[in-house]
Amino acid sequence: MFKPILLAAIFAVVAPLTASADSFYDIATQARTKYAAAQESWQQGLLELVKQTSPKFQAIATVQRDLQLAYIEQNTARFRYLLEHDSHRIILTNGVSQFANFEWSDKDTKALIESDPKYVQLQKQILELEKKNNQEPDWPEFRAWVRDTLSKSGEYKVLLSDHQAKRKAAEDILEKYKP
């Protein structure tokens, strides 16, 4: 008779800790998935919009999209690493910006490289894309066109609104977390 009471007491103390840990992990994972999908959709949408409105910038927009998608993949790999090895650095309670911009160091990069050979390949891909991106001769003209023309178009504003709604979905998931 004494054992069931003791087990019930232990469960009463441990269960909330377990549920809280599961909730943290589940919410963090769901929010990262939504956030990354929003970022990917934004990048793909920008490329499609550029192709429709100014095909002459398609090449530079494609390189830029590819680089941004690689950065998203890099940040997702970093997020997964932190979730597994140092989850307290992932903040769920201060909005999507702090959630997405977690602390990361050279020491973290070294550890991730040692534990994940795919990350090494991703780093090489990013370096190649950065080089290709930085060699684009049309950058000044492209930036000016995006700033002065594209960003003022109705299509761009619709795309931006869609992106903000998808980003808000990630924010809504984070708001479910109650430490």
The pLDDT score that the predictor gives to residue 179 is 86
pTM above 0.75, yes or no: yes
Tokens standing for residue 42 = 């934004």
Whether residue 46 contacts residue 160, with contact meaning beta carbons closer than 8 Å, is answered with no
Determine the Cα–Cα distance for residues 176 and 93; give it in Å rounded to an integer.
Answer: 9
**pLDDT tens track of the chain, all 179 residues?**
444 443 333 334 433 444 444 499 999 999 999 999 999 999 999 999 999 999 999 999 999 999 999 999 999 999 999 999 999 999 999 999 999 999 999 999 999 999 999 999 999 999 999 999 999 999 999 999 999 999 999 999 999 999 999 999 999 999 999 88
| DSSP state for residue 102 in the 8-state scheme | -
